[in-house]
Structure 1
Amino acid sequence: MNKRARVRAPELVGEGGWLNTGGERLSLGELRGKVVVLDFWTFCCINCLHVIDELRELEERHHDTTVVIGVHSPKFVHEAEHGAVVDAVERYGVAHPVLDDPRLETWKQYAVRAWPTLVVIDPEGYVVAQHAGEGHVHAMEKLITELEAEHEAKGTLRRGESPWEPPEPTATDLRFPGKVLALPEGGYLVSDTTRHQLVQLAADGETAVRRIGSGERGLVDGAPEQARFSEPQGLLLLPDDEGGAGSVVLVADTVNHALRRLDLATGEVTTVAGTGAQWMQGGPTDGPAREIALSSPWDLAWFDGRVWIAMAGVHQLWTYDPREGTVRVAAGTTNEGLVDGPAAEAWFAQPSGLAAAPDGERLWVADSETSALRCIERAPEGGHAVRTVVGTGLFDFGHRDGAAEQALLQHPLGVAALPDGSVVVCDTYNHALRRYDPATDEIGTAATDLREPSGAVPAPEGGGEVVVVESARHRLTRLRLPERAAQVEAAAHRTRREATEVAPGALTLDVVFQAPPGQKLDTRYGPSTRLVVSATPPGLLADGAGAGTDLRREVRLAGEAGTEGVLHVSAMAASCDEEGEYPACHVHQQDWGVPVRLAAGAPARLPLVLAGLDEESAQG
C-alpha cells in the first residue's frame, strides 16, 4: 500500500443529501484534522453489510479521531429512492453519517468500480488508501493507528466526537421484520430483524403473544429474556421423528453467522451451528456444525432429508444435518453470478429465500442479486442440479410478466411454495408478489403496492391466501391470491452505472494489490493470488477468459467501437502478518462487474484496486 501518494480527496456531493447528521450537510473541509473513511455501499449487497459490521468496533476504538461516512451508491432502481435509503440506514443499524448519492456523483469522482469500496483520507485531506471488498479491517486498524501518531506529531490531528446523530426511534410492534413461520398450534413466528428478536403473534397476525430475545445485539444462549440474536432472518420448523411438525424451530441468525435452536415449549435458545465468526475463503466447509464458520445464513428449508441453508454471504447453499450435527456445502462455488448445472459447479448471487415444493421434488431459491427464481432438483445421474426459471444475470432486472424465459424480477428476497405446485415470489424491490406456474412456465403479478415484501407463507387455513412480510411497513399482510395473475406493464432496467470506455482489441486487466503494512503475500502453500475473468456476452472476450494466478492479465476484446458488455473479474489475494510466532492470515477477495464500451483512443489498461492505491484510478 502506497500511503504516501498525494491525491487530494474530491468533495462529497450527492443529490439525496445527508442522513444521520441531524439535517446538517458535511464537507471534507469541515472534517479536516480527522481521519475520514468513506464506505461506498449499496443496501442490496451482502458484502457491503459485512463491511458495516466489520467497521463497528473500529469506529468505537477510534471514535475521537476517525469519521466513517457511508456513501450510498445504488445498484437497483429501488435503491435510488431516498426513502428506501432512510429505511436501510435504520434497518442495518448504520451508526455514522451517510451521504445519499443516487446519481453516483461521488462514486465517479473517486473512480470506484465495486461495492463495497473503502477509501481512507488523512487529516490533511489526501487519499492514502483504497480497499475493494471485505475483510480489510486489520489493515484499516493499523493504517489509522499510524495516521493518528503521524498527525498527532505534526499537529494536524483534531480530536473530537463524530458528527453522527441517530434518528428518533419509531414505536411499532415489529421493526423491519424479515421472515415468517406458521406455527402448528396456530399463530405465527416472525424474525423481528432490526430489534434482534423473534416475536410470536396470535392468529390475527398482529397481537404479540411473546418475545424471544433481549432485544440487544449479541450471541447469547438461554431463556427467552436472556438470549441474544443479531439481525435474525430465516425460520424453519423441524419435522419430528415421524415426519410431522415438531416443536423445534431453527433460526438463521444472520449477522451472528450461526444457526440457533428455539424450543417452542420453553423458549430456550441454543446455538447448533456456526462459531460466531464469519467464514472466509480457505476455511473448512464440511464437519461438526459448531466447529465450522458460516457466512450470513439468510433462510432455511427442509429438503431431501436435511436442512438447506441459503448462505447469502458466500453465494452458496449449505446443508445442516440435525441428527449428526454436521454442516457441508451443497451447491455453489462462492463465485457470484448465474450459472446452472451440477450443484457443485453452479454459481449463485446472494441466495436469500428458500421453499421446498410440497411434493418434495424441488427446492425453490430466490437468488436476489441476479433477480432470479431458481430451483434445486435431483439430477438423473445422482446428486442435485441447479436450474434458472426466471432471471438473466447480475445486471438485468425489472418487472415483466409472461413467459418465464423473458420475465424480469427486481431483487427478490423470499419464496413460498403453494399446495397446487405453483410458487409465489416476494419481488422485494418491485414491491410486488409474483406467482410462477410450472405447468404453464409463466409468471404473473398477484399483488402490488406492498412495501419491500421479504417473506411469505401459505395461510394455515388454506383458501388461496398467503401471509406476507411487508418489511418496510413493519407488519404482516394477509392476501387472497387471484385465480389468474395480472400482467402489469413491462419495465426493464440495467444497473445504474455508466460504462467505462476501453480500447478495442488488446486490454490489460490490472488488479492492484499491495499487502497492507505489516503483512506480506502468503506463498507457503503455492501461489497467493487468483484471478477469474469472464464476460457478458461471452463473445466480448476473444481471448483471456478463465482462471489463473497472476493479478495482471492481457485479454482481447472482440467488437468494433460502440460495442458494449460487462467484464466479470474475481480476484483473491492471501497475506499473512510479517511478525509473530503464529502469524495471522488474511484473505482479500472481490468480484467486479464492470460495464465497458469499446471506443477508439480509449485506455488499453483497466485498473481495479483490490487493496492499495492506484493513482490513475484515484484521480478518476
Structure 2
Amino acid sequence: MTTTPRVRAPELRGRGWLNTAGPLTLRELRGRFVLLDFWTFCCINCLHVLDELRPVEEEFADELVVIGAHSPKFVHEADPDALRAAVERYSVHHPVLDDPELITWQAYAARAWPTLVLIDPEGYVVAHYAGEGHAHAIRALLRELVQEHRSRGTLQPGDSPYLPPEPEGTDLRFPAKAVALPDGDFLVADAGHDAVVRLSATMEVTARFDGFREPNGLCLLPSEVAEEVGYDVVAADTVAHRLVGLTLADGSTRALAGDGRQWMQGDGTDRLSSPWDVAWWQDRVWIAMAGIHQLWTFDPLTGSVEVAAGTTNEGLLDGPLEEAWFAQTSGLAADGDTLWLADSETSSLRRIRNGAVETMVGEGLFDFGFVDGERATARLQHPLGVSVLPDGTLGIADTYNGAVRRFDPATGLLSTIASGLAEPSGLVLAGEAAYVVESAAHVLAPLDLSSSAADSGMETRTQRPVTEVGATVLLETPFSPPPGQKVDDRFGPSAQLVVTATPPSLIRSGEGRSTELTRTLELDPAVGNGVLHVAARAASCDIDGGEGAACRMHQQDWGVPIRIIPDGAASLVLPLAGPTT
C-alpha cells in the first residue's frame, strides 16, 4: 500500500437532492463516516452495489451515512423525473445527490461507474474503490476505523438524514416485460412489486404470483415442453440471480437455475448474475446474463446451464460467440435461425446467426442518440427490449429515447413508430394487436404499428470529462487487500490486467493481458482520441488461511475517454481497491 498525504474530501455539489429534507454538506456530517457511491441508474454494476451496501448500512446505521452521487451516463438519466423514478424503482434507501454536470464526480476524480469513496469523521478521504464486490472490504475497514475514532473522541453517531418518499399505489409498478398467453391474457413481470402478474385482455389484474425479486424477462415454453417439465413459464428473477419456473394453473414456482447468490469470477454455472431476459431458441431457453455481459442457455428437459457467448468483457465486439463482447444485454427475440439482441449499454441492436455476432445498429459504450436512417448513422439510446413484428421487421423498445423504433433487416433502415413514451422496456404481440410495456408509466398500453413519428436528430457521446494524456502513459491499477486479508498467490499470480482500445489503432503497444497491475502504453498521436478499455482484477484471502478461509475477487472494468496531446499526463491511475493512506 502506497502512503499518501491526507486529502480533505471536497464538498458535495450538484443540482439538488432526493431522499432527504434538504441539501447535505460534509461539514454538517462531521463526526460520522460518509460513503459516497458514484452511480448511474443504467449501470448493472451500480445496481449490484446498491444491494451489496444494504447490510453495511444496517450494521453501521449510527456511524455511517451513505450518499448516492448520481452521475449520469446517458442524456435521459440527467432528467430529474427519471432519476426520481429510478430511486424508487431500485429501492435506494439513502440520500441521493443529483449531479448531472458531474461536478462532484470530477472533484473526486471518479473514472468508473460505480466508484466508492469513504470519508472519515474528520472529513478526510480514507479509501477508494472501483467496481463491485467491495462490501466486505468496506465493512472490515469500518470496523477498524470506528474503534479508532471512538477512542479518539472524533466519532459522534447520529440519526440518518434519509427521508423516504411517499409511495404511490398502482396495479403495476415499473413493469419490465410481458408475454401473451394462448387464452388472450397477458403475463407481466411486475418488477416494482416483486411479482409476476396475470392481466386480462381488458388489463384487469386476475392473478398475482409473489416470491420474486425485481423479475424482468418472461419466456412461455412450447406446450409440449411445458407438459413434460411441469411448468409453463421461465422467469428471469433478476435481483435474486436465478431462473424461476411458474405453473399457471396453480401459481406454484420452482427454482430452475441459480442458488440466489451473484456469480463472481471463478464461479461455475450454478450461480447467475442479474439475468434480464429469456427467450426460447434452438430448443433451449437463452438468457441475457446482463450482470456479466454474456449469453447463457438453460435446457428445461435436463436442467443443464451453459455459457453460450461472451467473454465477460463489456463492449461492442462482433465475431464468433466465444470471442464476442456484449454490454448488459437486456432484450432477446428469436426469429428462425436468428436471435436478436438489445444490447443496452452500447445502445445497439445485434443478432446471432451461424455461430457469430453481428451489430446492426450501434457504435459503442459512449455513442448514442435518437436518429433514424441507415444503420451506419442510425442511433438508439439504451434499448431494453426487442420483438419480431408480423412483417418480419424488428420492433425495438428504445427505452431512454421514450420511443418504439422499427429496424428493417432487408433494407438496413431504422425508423420510429412512436415517441413520447415513458421508458418503454418491452413489446408484446397478441394476434394482430401490439402492446408496449411503459415501465415508468406503470402500464401495458396498446401500440399502433402502422403509426410513425419523427426522430429528434440527437447524436451525442457520453459527456464524461476526457482525460488528456501523452503518447507514453504509465497505467496503474493499485490494489490493497482489505484488513485481515492478504494477496492470494497460492496458485500463481493473483491479478490480471486487460487493456484494449476503441479504435484498436489507438494503442501502438501495451494492449493485451498480463498478471501485473501496472503497464506502459504507447499511444498513437495520429489517432488523436478514443477510449481505453481497462479490466483489472485481484484476489485476496484471509491472513490466517487454512481450511474455510474466505477468499474474494475484486474486479472492475473502466472505459476511459482520452485525448493525446504533447504535454498530456504521463500516468493514468485507476484505483481498483484500498485505503488511500
Query: 2:208 is matched with which residue?
Result: 211
Query: Alignment partner of 1:575: what SS?
Result: strand
What SS class does the counterpart of residue 549 from structure 2 fall into? coil
Aligned with 1:318 (options 296, 305, 323): 296
Q: Where do residues 7-46 of structure 1 align in structure 2 (5 Å cutoff)?
A: 7-15=7-15, 17-22=16-21, 24-46=22-44
- For residue 93 of structure 2, what is the aligned residue in structure 1? 95
Structure 2 SS opposite 1:171: coil
User: 3-state SS of the aligned residue for 1:178?
Assistant: strand
1:144-196 CA deviation, whole Å, 9 max, x = no partner?
11111111111111122211010001111111111111111121111111111
* Alignment root-mean-square deviation, CA: 1.7
What is the deviation of 1:542? 1.3
Structure 1 residues 116 and 563, CA gap change in structure 2 (3 angstroms): same
Q: Describe the shift of the 1:250–1:603 C-alpha distance in structure 2 as closer, same or farther (beyond 3 A).
A: same
Matched ranges for 1:12-91 at <5 A = 12-15=12-15, 17-22=16-21, 24-91=22-89
Matched, 1:393 2:364: yes
Deviation per residue, 1:505-549 (Å, 9 max, x gap): 211111111112111111122211111111122221111111111
C-alpha contact 2:4 2:580 (8 A) present in aligned 1: no
Q: Could you tell me how far 1:199 is from its partner in structure 2?
A: 1.2
Aligned 1:102-141 pairs, distance under 5 A: 102-141=100-139
- SS of residue in 1 equivalent to 2:86: helix
Q: Is contact 2:226-2:232 (8 Å) kept?
A: no
Question: In structure 2, do the counterparts of structure 1 residues 108 and 398 end up closer, same or farther at CA, with 3 Å as the change threshold?
Answer: same
SS in 2 for 1:408: coil
Matched, 1:475 2:443: yes
1:354 and 1:253 map into 2 onto residues whose CA distance is: 16
Work out whether residues 403 and 420 of structure 2, in 8 Å CA contact, stay in contact via their aligned partners in 1.
yes
Identical columns (%):
58
Q: Which amino acid aligns with 1:145?
A: R
Alignment partner of 1:570 is 2:556: no
- The whole-number CA distance in structure 2 between the counterparts of 1:610 and 1:202 is 50
Q: Give the deviation of 1:242 after TM superposition.
A: 6.9
> Which residue number corresponds to residue 284 of structure 1?
268
Q: Distance in 2 between matches of 1:169 and 1:47?
A: 26
SS in 2 for 1:568: strand
Does 1:461 pair with 2:458? no
Q: Does 1:160 align with 2:128?
A: no
Local SS of the residue matching 1:345: coil
Is the Cα–Cα contact under 8 Å of residues 20 and 162 in structure 2 kept in the other structure?
Answer: yes
- One-letter amino acid of the structure 2 residue matched with residue 267 of structure 1: G
Q: Report if the CA contact (8 A) 1:414-1:425 is conserved.
A: yes
| Offset of residue 599 of structure 1 | 2.3
Of 540-549 and 255-264, more deviation after overlay is shown by 540-549
**Which one-letter code corresponds to 1:73 in the other structure?**
S
Q: Write the deviation string for residues 180-239 of structure 1: whole angstroms up to 9, x where unpaired.
A: 1111112111111111111111102x21111111xxxxxxxxxxxxxx211111111111
Contact 1:507 1:605 in 2 (8 A): yes
Query: Hey, what's the Cα distance between the residues in 2 that align with 1:242 and 1:552?
Result: 52
Instruction: Note if 1:374 corresponds to 2:376.
Output: no
The reply to whether residue 412 of structure 1 matches residue 390 of structure 2 is no
Q: What is residue 532 of structure 1 aligned with on the other side?
A: 498
Whether the aligned pair in 1 keeps the contact of 2:485 and 2:543 (CA below 8 Å) is: yes
Going from structure 1 to structure 2, the CA distance change for 1:506 and 1:531 (only over 3 Å counts) comes to: same
1:138 partner SS = helix
Shift of 1:584: 1.2
Residues paired across the two proteins, number? 579
The SS at the match of 1:344 is: coil
- CA distance change for structure 1 residues 547 and 4 in 2, over 3 Å: closer, same or farther? closer
Q: How far apart in 2 are the matches of 1:270 and 1:3? A: 52
* AA matched with 2:232: V
Match of 2:252 in 1: 268
Q: Which residue identity lines up with residue 41 of structure 1 in the other structure? A: W
Q: Which runs of 4 or more aligned residues in structure 1 lie more than 3 Å from their structure 2 counterparts after TM superposition?
A: 1-5, 242-247
Say if 2:125 and 2:580, in contact at 8 Å, map to a contact too.
no
Measured against aligned partners, the alpha-carbon deviations of 1:52-86 in whole angstroms (never above 9, x if no partner) come to 00001111111111110000000001111111110
Amino acid aligned to 2:19: N
**Which position in structure 2 is the counterpart of 1:521?**
487
Q: 1:309 aligns with which of 287, 292, 299?
A: 287
Distance 1:129 1:212, change over 3 A: same
Deviation per CA, 1:433-467, whole angstroms, max 9, x where unpaired? 00111111111001101110001111x131xx321
**1:125, distance to aligned residue in structure 2 (A):** 0.7
What code does the residue aligned with 2:463 have? R
Please tell me the residue identity of whatever aligns with 1:457.
V
Q: Look up the equivalent residue of 2:27 and give its one-letter code.
A: G
CA distance in 2, matches of 1:293, 1:284: 6
Normalised to the residue count of structure 2, the TM-score between the two structures is 0.97
1:229 correspondence with 2:249: no
Deviations 1:298-343 (A, max 9, x none): 0000000100000000000000011101101000000000111110
Instruction: Say whether the 8 Å CA contact 2:525–2:565 is kept in structure 1.
Output: no
Write the distance in 2 (CA, Å) between the matches of 1:2 and 1:603. 20
Q: 1-side partners of 2:7 and 2:47: how far apart?
A: 28
Where do 5+ consecutive residues of structure 2 fail to align? none
1:405 Cα shift? Answer: 2.4
Of 550-559 and 311-320, more deviation after overlay is shown by 550-559
Inter-partner Cα distance in structure 2 for 1:614 and 1:506 = 26
1:5 to partner: Cα distance: 4.9
Q: For 1:400 and 1:112, locate their aligned partners in 2 and report how far apart those are by CA, in whole Å.
A: 30
Equivalent pair of 1:4/1:128 in contact (CA under 8 Å): no
Question: TM-score when scaled to structure 1?
Answer: 0.91
1:376 Cα deviation from its structure 2 partner = 1.2
Question: Take 1:97 and 1:334, find their aligned partners in 2: how far apart are those partners?
Answer: 32
Alignment partner of 1:250 is 2:234: yes
Q: 1:603, 1:449 → 2: CA distance? A: 44
Instruction: Give the aligned partner of residue 502 of structure 1.
Output: 469
- Tell me how far apart the structure 1 counterparts of residues 17 and 466 of structure 2 sit (CA, whole Å): 27
- 2:541 is paired with a residue whose SS is strand
**Preserved CA contact (<8 Å) 1:2 1:129:** no
Is 1:339 the equivalent of 2:322? Answer: no
Q: Distance in 1 between matches of 2:9 and 2:231?
A: 57
2:577 aligned residue: 611
Deviations 1:115-158 (A, max 9, x none): 00000001111100000000001101111111111111111111
The CA deviation at 1:3 is: 8.4
> Contact 1:574–1:588 at 8 Å: present in 2 too?
yes
Residues 294, 600 of structure 1: alpha-carbon distance in 2 compared, 3 angstrom cutoff:
same
Corresponding residue number in structure 2 for 1:189: 187
Residues 1:449 and 2:409 aligned together: no
Query: Quick one: distance in 1 between partners of 2:72 and 2:453?
Result: 29
SS in 2 for 1:513: coil
